[in-house]
A and B are shown apart, each in its own frame.
Chain A
Amino acid sequence: MKYMLLVYGAEDAWTEQERAECMEESTELCHELAEQGKFLGASPLHPVSTATLVRVRRGTRLTTDGPFAETTEQLGGYFLIDVANLDEAIAIAGRIPAATKGTVEIRPVFELAGLPQPAGK
């Protein structure tokens, strides 16, 4: 069963030093998951100030800057894992360093039949 772990948090909650440590620990966690065959992907995201929103309405593409609302918690990164069940996903979510300051949302992945293999193996 695949789960997407979405990591939300306040972007200003981290010092540069803490951020660097968080990335390092997260990388270690990914390696551990990979050894267990549970790792499908993970990445931090650039701050929400770099975000661009696209909508298509009546066939016209609208491109705008940034988030709609000034919410305190922003999507800051994700993990994609393959584990037996939700309990295992919860256990892993609890070990994500950023969970100590923010929130991890666990979403089971809807398996859509007929999708191609991702690029780059």
Chain B
Amino acid sequence: MTEKPRMDVHDLVSEIYARDSRRVFSTLVRLLGDFDLAEEALHEAFAVAVEQWQHYGVPDNPRAWLVSTGRFKAIDALRRRVHSQDVREQVSKRLDELSQVNAERAAREIEDDRLRLVFTCCHPALSSEAQVAMTLREVCGLSTEQIAVAFLSAPATIAQRIVRAKSKIRDAKIPFDVPSVQEFPQRLESVLSVIYLVFNEGYSASSGESLTRADLSSEAIRLGRLVMELLPDPEVLGLLALMLLHESRRAARATPEGDIVLLEDQDRRRWNRTQIQEGKELVERALASRRFGVYTIQAAISAVHADAPGTAATDWGQIVALYDILLRSAPSPVVELNRAVAVAMRDGPAAGLSLVDNILERGDLAGYHLAHAARADLCRRLGRTTDAQAAYERALELAQQEPERRFLKKRLAEVV
């Protein structure tokens, strides 16, 4: 026991809670095999900590102490709940298993538990909405209300989603484990897509008034860092880089009134250089591995923009080349559209327009507002104002988000 003045204990417990509560929770989930029981045990352990540490001092290894205390609290709770013979047998079996577990596990084990928690919350047997809600609730420790506000949903909807997911984990027996080698790539992909979805929800809300909900983006970046710390796979690095490079432009990408500022019009002095630097280093590490994937390629594209002093001085040739690589590994009409816009910057608007028209004629992106917005912009640059007007009108019909609609209306007014 370390001697600590009494004054410090509350602060110290809050600090440990902020830093370690999710670690302790992960291990409790593994030991207890139940999310709700673990959550209860976690809170009881911290309540006991506040009381006991004031009187008896702070233990040498607070995290192990919290795990052990939480475990005993859960055992008490299980004993109190026992009514029927059946349940009693189950509980005594579980208690036997628990007593074989040494609560003072090595730090590595506890880190493994966090990874188990991530993989369980992002299990593909859960719906994508449930994966997101579970990850934010259980891995990040956000409250149901916080998640509801961030996703513009009712707290009851999110709460129900989480309750259903926990029931499925329990009843269908989704394992609390890191997937096997064969399953690993696919399962990692589902973890990364949850993180990226959270990031994008924060970076450009899919509908509604506000263009950005910064908290979700920083939460996603925090998650990306956590997963990278636990699992430094090249694509994890690539995703973190991609998020940092996007995030670096946050201050410049909207006016104080919430209007969109296009990449070409952004004040690049307002880009966050620290985030750019970190993002670029991560991209380079990921590329050097030669086992990178789509997140890394997108991050590399973003890094080319970050390097350029302005639109004209951007290395569009390299951007087109990176889009070619991206198209080969993950063909999609949206990537084709982005490539077409880059081609327009490299070879002029006419070259870009013919590519955009090809994509639109195929019908793949007929309902995608950005495809029509891109066509409108290229027509505008070519002086084809009637075509530009029609395309802006079509984009406006399809756009959901208020700042995008304001932007399109402004552009439309300029060409009419």
Instruction: Write the residues of chain A forming the contact surface with B, with a CB cutoff of 8 angstroms.
Output: 1, 84-87, 90-91, 106, 108, 113
Residues of A within 8 A of B123 (CB): 86
How long is the Cα–Cα vector from A87 to B177 in the complex, in angstroms? Answer: 10
Contacts A87-B177, A87-B179, A90-B125; A113 near B171 (Cβ below 8 A): no
Which of B86, B125, B173, B183 touches A1 (beta carbons < 8 Å)?
A: B173
Whether, in the assembled complex, B59 has its beta carbon less than 8 Å from a beta carbon of chain A, the answer is: no
What are the interface flags for B151-192 relative to A under an 8 Å C-beta threshold, 1 for contact and 0 otherwise?
A: 000000000000000000001111101011001000000000
Residues of B within 8 A of A85 (CB): 173-175, 177
Q: When the two chains form their complex, are residues A86 and B86 in contact, meaning their CB atoms are under 8 A apart?
A: no
Residues of B within 8 A of A113 (CB): 86
Number of B residues whose C-beta is below 8 Å from A? 12
Q: When the two chains form their complex, are residues B179 and A86 in contact, meaning their CB atoms are under 8 A apart?
A: no
How long is the Cα–Cα vector from A90 to B173 in the complex, in angstroms? Answer: 11
User: How many contacts between A and B, using CB within 8 angstroms?
Assistant: 26
A85-B177, A87-B175, A108-B173 known, 7 other contacts, Cβ within 8 Å: A85-B174, A86-B125, A86-B172, A87-B179, A87-B180, A91-B183, A113-B86
Residues of A within 8 A of B180 (CB): 87
For B180, give the chain A residue with the smallest CB separation: A87
9 contacts between A and B (CB under 8 A): A85-B173, A85-B174, A85-B175, A86-B173, A86-B175, A87-B177, A87-B179, A106-B172, A108-B171
Chain B, interface SS category: loop
What are the interface flags for B72-91 relative to A under an 8 Å C-beta threshold, 1 for contact and 0 otherwise?
A: 00000000000000100000
Residues of B within 8 A of A84 (CB): 173, 175
How long is the Cα–Cα vector from A113 to B177 in the complex, in angstroms? Answer: 29
B120 to chain A, nearest CB (A): 10
A45 to chain B, nearest CB (A): 24
Residues of B within 8 A of A87 (CB): 174-175, 177, 179-180, 183
Residues of A within 8 A of B174 (CB): 85-87
How long is the Cα–Cα vector from A84 to B174 in the complex, in angstroms? Answer: 10
Residues of A within 8 A of B171 (CB): 108
A21 to chain B, nearest CB (A): 25
What are the interface flags for B105-134 relative to A under an 8 Å C-beta threshold, 1 for contact and 0 otherwise?
A: 000000000000000000101000000000
How long is the Cα–Cα vector from A87 to B172 in the complex, in angstroms? Answer: 10
Residues of B within 8 A of A86 (CB): 123, 125, 172-175
Residues of B within 8 A of A90 (CB): 125
How long is the Cα–Cα vector from A113 to B86 in the complex, in angstroms? Answer: 10
Residues of A within 8 A of B173 (CB): 1, 84-86, 108
Interface centre among A84, A87, A90, A108 (most CB of B within 10 A): A87
For A113, give the chain B residue with the smallest CB separation: B86
How long is the Cα–Cα vector from A108 to B174 in the complex, in angstroms? Answer: 10
How long is the Cα–Cα vector from A85 to B125 in the complex, in angstroms? Answer: 12
A88 to chain B, nearest CB (A): 8
Pick the 5 closest A-B CB pairs, nearest first: A85-B175, A108-B172, A85-B173, A1-B173, A86-B174
Interface centre among A86, A91, A106, A108 (most CB of B within 10 A): A86
B81 to chain A, nearest CB (A): 19
How long is the Cα–Cα vector from A92 to B336 in the complex, in angstroms? Answer: 37
For A2, give the chain B residue with the smallest CB separation: B173
Residues of A within 8 A of B86 (CB): 113
B373 to chain A, nearest CB (A): 38
B84 to chain A, nearest CB (A): 11
